[in-house]
Structure 1
Amino acid sequence: MSSMHDVTTWEPLLRLLLRDDAERLAAPGGYVEGRVGRGSWSVPTARPRLRPGRASSARDTRAEWDAVGRVRDALEESGVDEVSFMVEAPAPGKALLHLVDTGPAVEPGIGSSRPGALVLVEGAVPEPWRRLPDPVPDAVPAPTADAALLERTLRERLPGAVGATEEELAAVEERLGVTLPEELRTLYRVTRARRQDLGEDYDAAVRTAEAIGCELLSPDRVYVADAASRPAPWKHAAMNAVETGPDAAVQGLVGSPGWIVFGDTGGGDPIALDLTPGPRGHLGQVIVMSHEKNCGAGLVADSLTDLVLGRRVAEGRGTGRGERPPAVARVNGSGVPGVTAAAHPGLEVLAIGAWEGEPLSLEPLVGLPRLRTLTACPGTLADPLEIARLDGLEFLELAPEEWRVLLDAGAVPRGLSAAAIEVRGERNLLEIMDLADEILALRNRPPITRTVIEADLGPVG
C-alpha cells in the first residue's frame, strides 16, 4: 500500500485539524478540506496570533510544516503532484479522511481543493490553441534589417566573443525544422552566449545582454514558441480569443511555428523573431510574449538590427484590432449590460458575472456561428435549458444547480470538449466530486477516485 494511504502519514496533520477546527467539525455535517502539493499547500490550521511588531518565524508554523512535510514526502514517493482531502470527525478523537485522486480527465483546481476543468475529450485543447497563423504572402523584412551593420556593431561591442560555427547553426535548423533568418545567424556568428565560453569573466553575460538588448539564449536553447509551448488550464485558456486586426503588426496568436525564441527580457518574457507577422508587420520583426498573458505578443522592434541599435517601437504600436466588436464579452454590473448587447456574429466567449437584475435569457446567442465558451455565475440564467440550443459550445462552466438541470433533462451539449463547475461559498467537496463524475460519465471519461481512511487518534490537545 502506498504511504499516501497510510494513516501514519496523515496522523500529525489530522491531529492539528481536529484541534484547530474542533468546533466546525463537531457541527452537524461538519467537515474541513484542503490540498497538499509538492510545491505548495492549503490546509485550514490555525496560525498563532502575533504580538504587534513581531514578524512570523519558522517556529510559529513548525507543527504545520512538519505535518505537511510527511504528506509531501508521500507525494514524492508515489509520483503524485498533489492531493485534495476532506476530513470529518464522527466522534471525539476519530477522523474520516477522504483522499481525492482526480485522475487523468480532471485538471487541478488552481490554488483550491476543488476540481479544475473536466476534460471530456482526451487531448482536447481550446480553439485558440488550435489556431494557426494566417498566411501573409506579401510580408517582407523591414528596410532597417541590415546583417552587415548588425555584425559590425556587435563585433565592436563584443570583441573576443566566441561565435557559433556553421555546423552548430545547421544543427539548430535541423532540430527546429526551420531556416534561421540571416540576422539571427549573424548574431550567433558573433556570440553563442554559452557560459563556458566566458571563463571567470562574470560580467560578460551582462555586457552581452546590454550589447544586444536582451538576455541571449545559446543556440542549443533556441526554440519555436508554438501554441503547445504556452500551456494554460482550460478554465483560463477557453476565455481567450485570437484577434488580429487589419492594422496589426503581430498576429494575436497563442503561439506560432514562425515565432523563433532567441532571448528573454530577464523577467521571464520570451523574445522571438516573428516569421508570421500580422498584416502591417515585417518578416523577422522582434516580438515579446508576456508570461502574464496566454495570447498574443507585443512588437519590440521592426528588425533585429533595430533591437541592437536601440531603435525600439513605441509601446502599443501594431496592436490595432480594428473596429470590430470584441470576440470576448463579459456581462456584469459594470461591463456589457446584458446578453443582447453582447451578441454579434463574431462573439466567441461570453462570461456572465455578478448580475443584480432579472435572470438573463440566452435566446440572443442562438445561432451565433463562433460562440464556443459560456460561463455563468449562479442564478444568472433564466432557463439553463436554453444552453442545449447553443450547438457550437466546446467549454461550459456553470454552478452545481444549473448543471443539475441540464443533467436531469439530458440536455448537456454533446459537442463539449471540457466543462467546469463554478463553486461559490461552502460546498461539500464530495458532493462536487459526485457531480463531476456524472459529467465525466457522459463521455466515458475516467472517474474521480476516492479513498477513505479511518483514524482513531485518541485525545487531541
Structure 2
Amino acid sequence: MSSVCGFAAWEPVLRLMLGDDVERRAAQSARLAGRISQHGWSLAHRGPMSSTARIAVEDIQRALARGGVQEIAFRAEAQPDGRTMLGLVWPSPVVEPAIGYPDLGVLILADGSLPEPWLRRPNPVPGAVPAPSADLELLERTLRERLPDAVGASEEEIAAAEARLGVTLSEELKVLYRVTRVDWGDDFEAADRAGEAVGCELSGLEHLYAVDGAVRHLSWDLGAMRAVNTAPDAAVQGLAGSPGWIGFGSNGGDEFAVDLTPGPGGHFGQVILVDHEQSLGAELVADSLTDFVLGRVREERRDRRGDELPALARVGTGRLESVQAAAHPALEVLSIGTWDGTPFSLAPVAGLPRLRTLTAFPGTLSDPLDVAGLTGLEFLELGAREWRVLLDAGAVPRTLKAAAIKVCDQDHLPVVALANEILALWDRPEIIQTLIEGDLGPTA
C-alpha cells in the first residue's frame, strides 16, 4: 500500500475537489473529504472528472485491490499558501461506512448490534384464522392433477421440519409437501414443472426457513432512521422478519412466504412477498396458498409511506418548526436538520419512553447536555463540537449501540481522534489514520 500513502497519488484528486479554490482565494483553509473503494468512489466535485484525476482514482483502486483493502476514506485541509495535511482513514471493524456520504461513518459500539426495528417481534393476533378461500381438498386435487408423478413427504418429515422451525405449519403448506417433497436432484425439468404447478421456484421441505430480520438489515445510518409501521387494518405486519414468515419459494429474486403471524387485517397462512429491495415489511400476494396456486393473486401493493409521525419526526427548515411539535409518547426517531433560527432545546422530548434515535445537524442544539435526558437512545449523530461537550462532561449516553459524527464546516482531521475517544468508552479498537503532508501550491 506504499503507493497509496504518498501525497502524489492523491494530489490530482484533491485538485479536482478543490475546483476553483473559493475558500483558499478568500484566505481560508479548504476542507475536503471523500472515499474511494475498489469499485467506486464518493468525491464532492461538480462537472466532469478530468483524465488526470480519473487515472489517479483508478491507480488508487488498483492499489487497494492488490492490498486486499475494500475502501479507504480520506480527509484533507489545504491552507491558502498550499500547505496541505491529508489524512487516510483505514477500514475498521468498528466503522460502518455511511452509504453515499464522505463522512467517517457509523461507529459500532457493540458487536452484532442492530437497530430496534430489525429486532422487533411480531404482535400476537389471537383471532387470526385462515381465509375463506383456503380449501385443502381443492388445493390437494389441483396439485395432484398438475404433478401426477410427484412423491410427497411423510408425516414424520413434516413433523421434523416443524420441530426445526419451531412452529406449526399451516394446513395448506402441509398439503403442498404431502403432494411433493421437492427433491429432484439434477432433474431440472421436474423442478420446472413443480414451479409451474405452484407458481414459483419451490423450495424443498428441508429448505423451509423463517425470514430473519437481521439478514435484511442494510446499515445503521439508514436503519436507525426507520420505524416499524403496522396500520390497524394492515394485512401484513411491517416487520423486517418473523418466526412465522415461512419462506417456501421465490420468483428468482424475491421470496414468497406463508405468513403465520399476520397483521390485524390479514389471514393465518396468507402468502406474502418479501421484496429483496426493501428492508422492512412485506406485500400481501394471496389470501391463502389455495389462491396462490390457482393464480388468484392480489395486484394492489402495500402503502410504502411507512415512517411518519408520530413515530418519526423531522424538525428544521421546511419541516416541523419546533421540537415541541414532535413530542409524542410514540416518538422513536427525532431528526433535526439545517435551521437558521434559534437552536432547539431537547427538553420537550426528555424521558420519552420509545425515543431511540437522535440526529442533530451541527449547531442546532441550544445545549448538547440535553441529550442526557434522553434515557433510551441507541443511536446518536451530532456535530464534532456537540460530541466534545458530551465527552468533556462525561455525559455520553451509555445506552448507545452506534454513533456518528456529522462533519459540516468544522475541522475534518480531528474527527478520527474524537471518534476514538467515543470508541474508548466501550473498549472498542481504535481507528487508524495515516497523516501525510504535502503542498498544492498557493492560489493563483
> TM-score, normalising length from structure 2?
0.80
Residue of structure 1 in register with 2:272 after alignment: 287
CA contact (8 A) 1:18 1:89 kept: no
Which consecutive unaligned segments of at least 5 residues does structure 2 have? 440-444
Match of 1:361 among 337, 345, 348: 345
Deviation per CA, 1:105-141, whole angstroms, max 9, x where unpaired? 2212213442222222343322222322222333222
Q: 1:365: Cα distance to partner? A: 0.8
CA–CA distance in 1 between the matches of 2:82 and 2:348? 56
2-structure distance, mates of 1:329, 1:45: 31
Aligned ranges 1:250-289 → 2 under 5 Å: 250-266=236-252, 268-289=253-274
Render the CA deviation track for 1:81-100: whole Å, top value 9, x for unaligned: 3222346789x999976432
Secondary structure at 1:433 match in 2: helix
Is residue 434 of structure 1 aligned with residue 424 of structure 2?
Answer: no
Cα pair 2:6 2:436 within 8 Å, conserved: no
How far did 1:64 drift? 4.7
| Preserved contact between residue 9 and residue 74 of structure 1 (Cα < 8 Å) | no
Matched, 1:127 2:112: no
Which amino acid in structure 1 is aligned with residue 319 of structure 2? G
Query: Residues 234 and 8 (structure 1 numbering): CA distance in 2 closer, same or farther, change over 3 Å?
Result: closer
Shift of 1:219: 4.7
Distance 1:215 1:423, change over 3 A: farther
Q: Which residue is 1:36 aligned to?
A: 36
Aligned to 1:350: 334
Q: What is the match of residue 72 of structure 1?
A: 64
Output the amino acid matched with 2:97.
P
Change beyond 3 A, Cα 1:385–1:67: same
How far apart in 1 are the matches of 2:221 and 2:142? 47
Q: Does residue 192 of the first structure (1) align with residue 182 of the second (2)?
A: yes
Distance 1:119 1:327 in 2: 24
Amino acid at match of 2:294: L
Determine the C-alpha separation between the residues in 2 that align with 1:319 and 1:88.
42
Q: Does the CA contact (< 8 Å) of 2:114 and 2:214 recur in 1?
A: no
Structure 1 46/240 Cα, relative in aligned 2: closer, same or farther at 3 Å? closer
3-state secondary structure, aligned to 1:388 = helix
Q: What does residue 147 of structure 1 align with?
A: 136
Is the contact between residue 242 and residue 261 of structure 2 (CA under 8 Å) also seen in structure 1? yes
Tell me the equivalent position of 1:304: 289
The residue that corresponds to 2:442 in the other structure is none
Deviation at 1:249, TM superposition (A): 2.3
Residue identity in the other structure for 1:437: N
Please say if 1:408 is aligned against 2:392.
Answer: yes
CA distance in 2, matches of 1:169, 1:316: 32
Written as runs of structure 1 = structure 2, the 5 A alignment for 1:32-181 is 33-42=33-42, 63-64=55-56, 66-76=58-68, 80-86=69-75, 98-157=87-146, 165-166=153-154, 172-173=161-162, 175-181=164-170
2: CA distance, partners of 1:209 / 1:300: 17
Distance 1:72 1:221, change over 3 A: farther
Aligned equivalents of 2:368, 2:432: Cα separation in 1: 29
Partner of 1:370 in structure 2? 354
**1:388 CA displacement:** 1.6
Assess, with a 3 A threshold, how the Cα gap between structure 1 residues 19 and 243 changes in structure 2: closer, same or farther.
Answer: closer
Question: Are the counterparts in 2 of residues 261 and 273 from structure 1 also a CA contact under 8 Å?
Answer: yes
- SS of 1:444's partner is coil
Greater Cα shift, 404-413 or 275-284: 404-413
Tell me how far apart the structure 2 counterparts of residues 291 and 14 of structure 1 sit (CA, whole Å): 37
Report the number of matched residues: 433
Q: From the superposition, tell whether residues 277 and 87 of structure 1 become closer, same or farther in structure 2 (CA, over 3 Å).
A: same
Residues 380 and 453 of structure 1: is their aligned pair in 2 closer, same or farther, counting only changes over 3 Å?
A: closer
Normalised by the size of structure 1, how large is the TM-score? 0.77
* CA shift in 2, pair 1:412/1:222, >3 Å: same
Unaligned runs of 5+ in 1: 51-58, 457-461
2:234 match: 248
| 1:379 equivalent in structure 2 | 363
Is the counterpart of residue 391 in structure 1 residue 375 in structure 2? yes
Q: Is this contact kept in 2: 1:107–1:233, CA < 8 A? A: yes
| Alignment partners' CA distance in 1, 2:57 and 2:13 | 13
CA distance 1:149–1:136, change in 2 (3 Å): same
Distance 1:176 1:64, change over 3 A: farther
Structural RMSD (CA) = 4.2
Alignment partner, residue 417 of structure 1: 401
Alignment-derived partner of residue 459 in structure 1: none
Whether contact under 8 Å (2:377, 2:399) holds in the other structure is yes
1:7 pairs with one of 3, 8, 14: 3
Q: What's the CA shift string for 1:254-303, capped at 9, x where partnerless? A: 2111111223344x432211111223322211122333433222222111
Q: Match of 1:230?
A: 216
Residue 338 of structure 1 deviates from its aligned partner by 2.1
CA distance in 2, matches of 1:342, 1:367: 14
Q: Which amino acid aligns with 2:234?
A: A
**Secondary structure class of the residue paired with 1:287:** strand
* Seq. identity, %: 52
Does structure 1 residue 17 correspond to structure 2 residue 13? yes
